[in-house]
Amino acid sequence: MSRRRVFMFLRGGFHAIDRFVMVALSGRVRQSYIRMSYRLKTALFPEYGSYVPKHSEIGSLSQNIVLVPPAIPSWALDEMRNIAKEIDPALYPTDLFLAGCSYYSFPVIRRPGQIYRKLIQQCSSDYYTHVFAIPWLKQGGADL
Amino acid sequence: MINSKIDVSLLITFHNEGILAYSTLNSIERCRKFAEAKGITTEYILVLDKCSEETKNIVLSHPAISNNLTVVEVDHGDLGASRNSGVVCATGDTLAILDGDDYFSENWIERAFDCIKAYGDKVIIHPEMVINFGAHAAYCWQLDQAERHFEKDGLLVNNYWTSWTFAKRNVYLEHPYSETRPLASGFGYEDWHWNCEMIAAGFEHRLAMGTIGFYRRKKISLVLATAASGAIIPPSQLFSRVLSNQELA
């Protein structure tokens, strides 16, 4: 059985225990269980990252906020090995490299852009000499 | 007469990469050979912008440097302007923007070229994955504009793509990069700005699946210096009044 299959199997077991056993225990016990599981995962499978959620990040089961970051796919690891052999050993995906290699995603935060579009719609000219930004000004009250 | 039609121009900018430029050229040469084995013809466009003598010697003595090569020496001190100078000298039907200290998966050029054929001319192609190495190791997937969770309004506060792009050469000619000079102008992030401008012009950013860009993280870099200076991207048509009004009409 490949490492990935073993990992996926254990991960399924982790979720099953979390869902069916931990639900009957206190939140503190569940937090300890999740943190211990993540530490165990880091020790046994460093290629899947070293992230351990903080106590405050582990809520109730219904919140389901614990993130399991996606692993680097095998085709990418193969390419890293090839580049390491042919060009630069720094890219070899050693356990040490993978343990320190964290997952991130490009944040998609649309609200500021939407607000900006609404604001720019209110403008009657493309060119201004002066712009005053007064974010604390509110409609109504004694200040108007 | 031999048919000298070039499919892809490989445009690489160099500044002070030193010996790192040698490994990068090895990586790009690996991509080039892979693409040529699939029948894709290529040329090198090397832009040396205020390039140190050491870097210049390393680049020009690299064994990959062959007859199919144009060296463009400029004194811009600006990445956007350097790329524009290289684009003008390129002759390929398509063009890849590459940086002088990064690496790429072997299939990057070949798959990107195929993507242009598959998706049409109005697209910009990016590698599917980015793996950071060097001073900081991390990995991510880039965003495909055709994906459900893509939001172009998010580009006001974050860039979604690295500067490695692949498109028809005419695209770069008709939509040159802005010159930013962050320390002097307060504007920076020429690649982020260009990405926005291309969407405003009706282009779509798509991914070449199964490809990777390896981004060398340094303790001191242009991106970090730009961020530290508090620079912002230049005004973009993507957030212009005219385009916003058109969309909301």
Residue-wise pLDDT tens digits, B109-134: 999 999 999 999 999 999 999 999 99
Integer Cα distance of B179 and B177 in angstroms: 7
CB contact under 8 A, B106 and A107: no
Q: Taking CA B68 as the corner, what is the angle to CA B66 and CA B74, rounded to the nearest 5 degrees?
A: 95
* Bridge partners, residue B73, by sequence: B48
- Which is higher by pLDDT, B222 or B145? B145
pLDDT in tens, A9-66: 888 888 788 777 766 777 778 888 888 888 888 888 877 767 777 777 676 655 555 5
pLDDT in tens, B67-94: 789 999 999 999 999 999 999 999 999 9
DSSP reduced 3-state for B212: strand
Q: Which of B156, B209, B236 to mutate to test the interface with A (most CBs of A within 10 A)?
A: B156
pLDDT at B99 over 90: yes
pLDDT of residue A67: 65
Integer Cα distance of B111 and B35 in angstroms: 9
Residue of A nearest to B103 (CA): A83
Residue recorded with tokens 């580049």: A83
Please give the structure tokens belonging to residue A70.
């996606």
Residue of A nearest to B20 (CA): A88
B64: nearest Cα among B95, B31, B102, B88: B31
pLDDT in tens, B51-61: 999 999 999 99
Q: How many angstroms separate the CA of residue A51 from the nearest CA in chain B?
A: 12
pLDDT in tens, B157-167: 999 999 999 99
**Backbone φ, ψ for residue B171 (5° rounding):** -60, -45
B10: nearest Cα among B56, B48, B41, B49: B41
CB contact under 8 A, B133 and A113: no
- Which is higher by pLDDT, A71 or B220? A71
Q: How confident is the model at residue B1 (pLDDT cuts 50, 70, 90)?
A: very low
CB contact under 8 A, A108 and B150: yes
DSSP reduced 3-state for A140: coil
pLDDT of residue A4: 73
Q: Does A117 touch chain B (CB under 8 A)?
A: yes
pLDDT of residue B15: 92
pLDDT of residue A143: 56
Is the Cβ–Cβ distance between A113 and B239 less than 8 Å? yes
Q: Which of A86, A106, A122 to mutate to test the interface with B (most CBs of B within 10 A)?
A: A106
Strands (E), chain A: 102-103
pLDDT of residue A140: 67
pLDDT at B245 over 80: no
Q: How many angstroms separate the CA of residue A101 from the nearest CA in chain B?
A: 5
pLDDT at A87 over 70: yes
The predicted complex's ipTM stands at: 0.90
pLDDT of residue A135: 72
pLDDT at A77 over 80: yes
Please give the structure tokens belonging to residue B163.
């500067």
